[in-house]
Structure 1
Amino acid sequence: MDTTLAPPAPSSKPAAAAPVVAAPPATLLFVDDEPAILSALRRLLRPLGHRVLLAESGAEALEILEKEPVDLVMSDMRMPQMDGAQLLQIVRQRWPDAMRLLLTGYADISSTIAAINQGEIHRYISKPWDDQELLLSLREALDRHRLAHENRILQKVTAEQYDQLQTANAKLDEMNRQLEGNNAQLEKRVASRTAELSQVNDMLGAAYQQLQTNFMLSIKVFAGLLELREGSLPGFSEKVGSLSQRLALKLGLSESQRTDCYAAGLLCEIGKIGLPDRMLRKAFSAMDDEERKRYCRHPLMAEAALMPLNDLRSVSRLVRQHQERVDGRGYPDGLSGDDVPIQAQLIGLAATYEGLMAGRLAEKRYTPEEAQEAIIKASGSHYSPALVDAFKKVMADAVAQEPPMREVKVNELAPGMVMGRDLISPRGTLLLSKGYMFDAAVIRTLNELVRREGLNVSFFVRTDMPKSASTAVAA
């Protein structure tokens, strides 16, 4: 039980990543006191067309930065006089727009964490590096640099438009003061202007709400990127986010906390984007020791990916902590008791519950009932009893809201029957959606498929037989 739900935290080793597509040309500065490493980096980057600058010390790097506009600085951690953490902290203070990466060995992990906190390092790369993973990290950093630049331009344009609007409002206010004391016709014009201002304010409020909606939509798109990978499960992140939000509501958390829980649930898998497809296809219990060590670093990788986004700082912290356990046997930091925030616990619970049913943690897929029993048994070890009580209530609410249904085999299907639950393939693909109404043609196709493939498939159909239902099919 303990191994299935959340194993103790191990270390990881770098492995090969997917091929990297070249980013647009940029100016890169590499800092290392070993000329051989600088030469290797220059050779690696030469085919991509980037402008590469090299420095053998922190002081030499600062001299280059004084003279040259640089998009990205990557420094080795261990250097004499000025180490990589000190250099990148100065870069953050004097050239904050430059992306900052740290090249470090596993033994420097404590110094790396301090560097991330002090120099706001966007990412660290372990030595020895894998060429493709290094190129991928550089491309991602340059993409962020470009997006940040575009965002600054957009903010400048927005600020200018806001100033123009403020100027227009000031002019309207002056007109209102001049119209005071005039006849009824002038008062009518004042009222008209006031109505215009109210409309503008309403538009600004609607625009702000739209920005918030678009921000959450961007998070969903970001979370959905991982589900495009082979071995990923469509809709898994949304299920974890939705259950996290319901648990937060049942625990009486504030609206902002519920929003953070939902966002963290959507993004809790994002650290796996650097894992190879073969690991995504494996259940945790089927991995070897090296694979488990690498897998258990995904909360750290997720936090590093989300940290540069100011609006997601609290969310990134929850994602880092969602695999911690109240008994102290979680990862990556081994927190225990009240040091594990209830928001992080509920995200971990939601991810474990959905992961058990999806076959991600064990080689067999748990039924909803088996998954619920596993969660309940973890009360006091993995999760606080109050959270498990809230989970049981949420599950009871879900059962109460389900329509009456019965389980049938394919040869029992009849036209007009309606699906009461989603039908998911063994690989996690949605085959038939809840609310789908069967017709004769689809029933014939399903009978042929089951007979040809030798499948043992059950369908949960509604017994209240609603008159209207969706006929949408997802394949």
Structure 2
Amino acid sequence: MTQPDSSAGVGTVLFVDDEPNILNALKRLFRPTGLRVLTAPDGPAGLDVLAAEAVDVVVSDMRMPQMDGATFLKAVRERHPQIERILLTGFADMDSTVSAVNEGGISRYLNKPWQDQDILTAVKDAVERGRLQAEVARLHALTAEQNAQLKNMNAELETRVQARTRDLQTAIGKIKDANESLKQNFLTTVRVFSELVEMRSGHMAGHSRRVAQHARELAKAAGLDEAATQNVMLAGLLHDIGKIGLPDELLAKPYNSLKPEERSVYIRHTERGEAALTAVSQLKAVGKLVRHHHELWDGSGFPDQLVGLAIPIGAQILAIANDFDGLQQGQLTARPLPPREALVYISQNAGKRYNPELANTFVRMVSERNGNRRESGLSLRPGMLKQGMRLAQDLLHPDGYLLLPRGHVCDEDSIVQLRRLEASSNRHIVVQIEDTQRGPDA
């Protein structure tokens, strides 16, 4: 084995041939190319060189002792498949050349004697091809490595995103819980204010709650959106908040029985109610409904004598709900009206006191809700009760708690207790009694 002529170059080629003069000729031919040239006298020596050196191209003679070129190149292919392989052969060696092509995987073969330019071109092409293949392999390996890193990064990122998403969902859940808590606290506060108003006039216990419920149902039936319906319901709970400062004797009288000077004081409660609610930003729109819930469709209401559609629709709804319950409590008329008569009143005043479309919707809604249930036929004071009469509705204490449940049959003791309560509280108590003379479809 000979040493290389040059240590510098752009590639390395190994020539294997058992004739020294051929090896020398090849070294001289390739010296100007700048390629690094290695030589070996036979196949085993060539394999030793390949084991110790980085080689790009192997050029082997076919006829050599110990190991012919086909066998040598087959061994090169098996041990160093990345090396380009070229065979030098004579015309008489075609069978061996075919074997070298099939078993050694040679990329090209050249006949002896060779043309210098042919072998120079073949070797340079093989060096370049080997480098391109090596670069492709390097890039494939780099791509695979980067893909693996990217996969790991994506997995790590997905884990982080999932963790962050869980944290975000937890935070959102806490915010929702906090908002729901604030909402409930807000509604509780509204109900507390509503109950404080009713404590001034115990005979109206539950009035604001019932008005709010009726108004909410009518708002939904009229097609108002959720926010508007909520405002109507809140206005129902707070519509009488301006009455807190009114004298007790004024609150105890039906509106129709008030003297002119008393009415002038009474009607200002809507303005005071709006002023009280406007200070709370969430209740500003509610305050507007409270101000106008006594406006009438024909313009005869108060405080601003608005006419028809100039009245906010929430206030139109509130007026119907408020009057329906007030009629049953004796707040508008000389005597409390049973629900059926209260509905007749609403219907008769459609187009006068009330928006006719809303009034008709309300009457239909309440009638359908009651269906074929037996209506409360009688509204009686305790002094008018008789033993055996059955309550058509729950009877609430003036302070709001339950006194007698619906269906209770009056006896001497309960009648006496109710009379004493009315006398001691100085408040009217109205008991809804079933009219046993009416059938279920009455």
Please tell me the TM-score bracket, short chain as reference: 0.5 to 0.7
**Separation in structure 2 between the aligned mates of residue 236 and residue 374 of structure 1, nearest angstrom:** 18
The CA deviation at 1:444 is: 6.6
**Separation in structure 1 between the aligned mates of residue 416 and residue 263 of structure 2, nearest angstrom:** 41
Unaligned runs of 5+ in 1: 1-178, 463-475
**Separation in structure 1 between the aligned mates of residue 259 and residue 374 of structure 2, nearest angstrom:** 43
**Residue from 432, 436, 455 that aligns with 2:404:** 432
Alignment map for 1:398-409 (pairs within 5 Å): 398-400=369-371, 402=373
Q: Do structure 1's residue 422 and structure 2's residue 398 form an aligned pair?
A: no
Bigger drift between 395-404 and 420-429 goes to 420-429
**Separation in structure 1 between the aligned mates of residue 405 and residue 205 of structure 2, nearest angstrom:** 13
**Separation in structure 1 between the aligned mates of residue 414 and residue 203 of structure 2, nearest angstrom:** 25
Q: Do structure 1's residue 294 and structure 2's residue 280 form an aligned pair?
A: no
Instruction: Kindly indicate whether the alpha-carbon contact (under 8 Å) linking 1:231 and 1:278 is maintained by their aligned counterparts in 2.
Output: no
Label 1:332 to 1:459 Cα distance change in 2 as closer, same or farther (>3 A).
Answer: closer
Q: 1:421 is aligned with what amino acid? A: Q
**Separation in structure 1 between the aligned mates of residue 334 and residue 399 of structure 2, nearest angstrom:** 12
The CA deviation at 1:401 is: 8.2
Instruction: Kindly indicate whether the alpha-carbon contact (under 8 Å) linking 2:324 and 2:343 is maintained by their aligned counterparts in 1.
Output: yes
Q: 1:301 is aligned with what amino acid? A: R
Instruction: Kindly indicate whether the alpha-carbon contact (under 8 Å) linking 1:233 and 1:429 is maintained by their aligned counterparts in 2.
Output: no
Label 1:205 to 1:376 Cα distance change in 2 as closer, same or farther (>3 A).
Answer: same
Instruction: Kindly indicate whether the alpha-carbon contact (under 8 Å) linking 2:277 and 2:283 is maintained by their aligned counterparts in 1.
Output: yes
Instruction: Kindly indicate whether the alpha-carbon contact (under 8 Å) linking 1:356 and 1:371 is maintained by their aligned counterparts in 2.
Output: yes
Label 1:311 to 1:460 Cα distance change in 2 as closer, same or farther (>3 A).
Answer: same
The CA deviation at 1:412 is: 3.8
Label 1:406 to 1:362 Cα distance change in 2 as closer, same or farther (>3 A).
Answer: closer
Instruction: Kindly indicate whether the alpha-carbon contact (under 8 Å) linking 1:410 and 1:457 is maintained by their aligned counterparts in 2.
Output: no
Instruction: Kindly indicate whether the alpha-carbon contact (under 8 Å) linking 1:232 and 1:280 is maintained by their aligned counterparts in 2.
Output: no
The CA deviation at 1:428 is: 9.1
Structure 2 residue matching 1:258: 3-state secondary structure: helix
In the other structure, the counterpart of 1:374 is 345
**Separation in structure 2 between the aligned mates of residue 350 and residue 457 of structure 1, nearest angstrom:** 20
The CA deviation at 1:205 is: 1.5
* CA offsets 1:340-360 (integer angstroms, 9 cap, x no match): 122111101111111111112
Q: 1:445 is aligned with what amino acid? A: D
Instruction: Kindly indicate whether the alpha-carbon contact (under 8 Å) linking 2:377 and 2:435 is maintained by their aligned counterparts in 1.
Output: yes
Q: 1:350 is aligned with what amino acid? A: A
Q: Do structure 1's residue 205 and structure 2's residue 173 form an aligned pair?
A: no
In the other structure, the counterpart of 2:413 is 445
**Residue from 223, 234, 243 that aligns with 2:205:** 234
Label 1:411 to 1:189 Cα distance change in 2 as closer, same or farther (>3 A).
Answer: same
**Residue from 188, 207, 228 that aligns with 1:217:** 188
* CA offsets 1:167-225 (integer angstroms, 9 cap, x no match): xxxxxxxxxxxx99449688556534432332221121221122122212211111211
Instruction: Kindly indicate whether the alpha-carbon contact (under 8 Å) linking 1:423 and 1:459 is maintained by their aligned counterparts in 2.
Output: no
**Separation in structure 2 between the aligned mates of residue 456 and residue 420 of structure 1, nearest angstrom:** 12
Instruction: Kindly indicate whether the alpha-carbon contact (under 8 Å) linking 1:231 and 1:281 is maintained by their aligned counterparts in 2.
Output: no
Structure 2 residue matching 1:227: 3-state secondary structure: helix
The CA deviation at 1:280 is: 1.0
In the other structure, the counterpart of 1:4 is none
**Separation in structure 1 between the aligned mates of residue 169 and residue 435 of structure 2, nearest angstrom:** 52
Instruction: Kindly indicate whether the alpha-carbon contact (under 8 Å) linking 1:324 and 1:334 is maintained by their aligned counterparts in 2.
Output: yes
**Separation in structure 1 between the aligned mates of residue 315 and residue 177 of structure 2, nearest angstrom:** 32
Unaligned runs of 5+ in 2: 1-149, 379-384, 423-428, 437-442
In the other structure, the counterpart of 2:285 is 314
Q: TM-score scaled to structure 1, two decimals?
A: 0.51
Structure 2 residue matching 1:431: 3-state secondary structure: strand
Q: Do structure 1's residue 247 and structure 2's residue 215 form an aligned pair?
A: no
The CA deviation at 1:423 is: 3.1
Q: 1:234 is aligned with what amino acid? A: A
* CA offsets 1:51-79 (integer angstroms, 9 cap, x no match): xxxxxxxxxxxxxxxxxxxxxxxxxxxxx
**Separation in structure 1 between the aligned mates of residue 411 and residue 306 of structure 2, nearest angstrom:** 52
Q: 2:393 is aligned with what amino acid? A: R
In the other structure, the counterpart of 1:104 is none
Instruction: Kindly indicate whether the alpha-carbon contact (under 8 Å) linking 1:450 and 1:456 is maintained by their aligned counterparts in 2.
Output: no
Bigger drift between 206-215 and 420-429 goes to 420-429
Structure number with bigger Rg: 2
**Residue from 302, 305, 312 that aligns with 1:341:** 312
* CA offsets 1:15-57 (integer angstroms, 9 cap, x no match): xxxxxxxxxxxxxxxxxxxxxxxxxxxxxxxxxxxxxxxxxxx
Q: 2:414 is aligned with what amino acid? A: L
Label 1:355 to 1:326 Cα distance change in 2 as closer, same or farther (>3 A).
Answer: same
Identity %: 35
Q: Do structure 1's residue 387 and structure 2's residue 358 form an aligned pair?
A: yes
The CA deviation at 1:363 is: 2.8
> Quick one: higher RCO (CA 8 Å, sep 6+), 1 or 2?
1
Q: 2:269 is aligned with what amino acid? A: H
Structure 1 residue matching 2:300: 3-state secondary structure: coil
